[in-house]
Structure 1
């Protein structure tokens, strides 16, 4: 049986929510290539700035992206440590010992 701590369970739920939207996944795809400002993401994704800011806030609250300010510009990048942490948590769900696999008739 898989057991998560309350903290891990909340963390995984928050990250799964952040990853459950097509626009947020498209943002992450762009950010994997490197740091981007909102204006670059707006042009690349064909979405309005307010819509992207909402999605970036969700990703940031989940810890999946970082931001930094340079003058009046805000730049975003992937937080690789957080993404790896989520991968590890999901791996605990995906990998089960052979004796726990269901038998199909």
Structure 2
């Protein structure tokens, strides 16, 4: 994984609202309308955060009618996890 991709992935975790969104999605898929109710932010602000999360591959969205339903991307989270695990010394001495 190159440095630019790593930066995009970890940018997704660098905002309080995005962390809240991830926490909400840990419990399963949610419609954007439900996320708006939970977060007390505007629709354009939610769209901005969801774009960052989706571009990072941490979240995926699927359209259903006029709404998008979001969920955690297991493969995206696995990429972040693998990078973090790769930072540990091979002999696990810290």
| TM-score of the pair, normalised by structure 1 | 0.81
Name the larger-Rg structure: 1
Unaligned runs of 5+ in 2: none
User: Equivalents in 1 of 2:78, 2:91: separation in Å?
Assistant: 25
1:8/1:89 contact within 8 Å kept: no
1:55 alignment counterpart: 49
Give every structure 1 segment of 4 or more consecutive aligned residues whose post-TM-superposition deviation is greater than 3 Å.
97-101
User: Over aligned residue pairs, what C-alpha RMSD do you find?
Assistant: 1.7
User: Equivalents in 1 of 2:15, 2:75: separation in Å?
Assistant: 21
1:64/1:82 contact within 8 Å kept: yes
Unaligned runs of 5+ in 1: 1-6
1:68 alignment counterpart: 62
